[in-house]
Amino acid sequence: MEALEKLKFILREEEMPMFSDEQLEKYLNSSDSFELALYELLMLKSENTGLQISGLTIQDTSSYFRRLAQTYRPYNSGVLGG
């Protein structure tokens, strides 16, 4: 799977689009690694997305994307240096 397609899949861009292909390419090219680009994009996507208008409520997806971002957080090895 190509890096751009993999980014779009993990970010669920088909179901919840937020970034253009150009923006995704920019993050891929400017980051040190695929994981770092993905982490930054997931953190951006984790903005509060809930909405409530006169009885109609749309669920907030920010916590989902924050949890997913923790998977790709840089230096998340779980090993403490000493």
* Model pLDDT for residues 3-22, shown as the tens digit of each residue: 999 999 999 999 888 899 99
| Helix spans in the chain (H) | 3-10, 21-30, 34-45, 62-71
More confident residue, 77 or 36: 36
Q: Please state, in angstroms and rounded to a whole number, the distance separating the CA atoms of residues 49 and 61.
A: 6
pTM: 0.71
Angle between helices 21-30 and 34-45 (to 10 degrees): 130
Q: Residues 41, 19: contact at Cβ < 8 Å?
A: yes
pLDDT tens-digit map of 61-79: 778 888 888 887 877 556 6
Q: What phi and psi values does residue 57 have, to the nearest 5 degrees? A: -125, 130
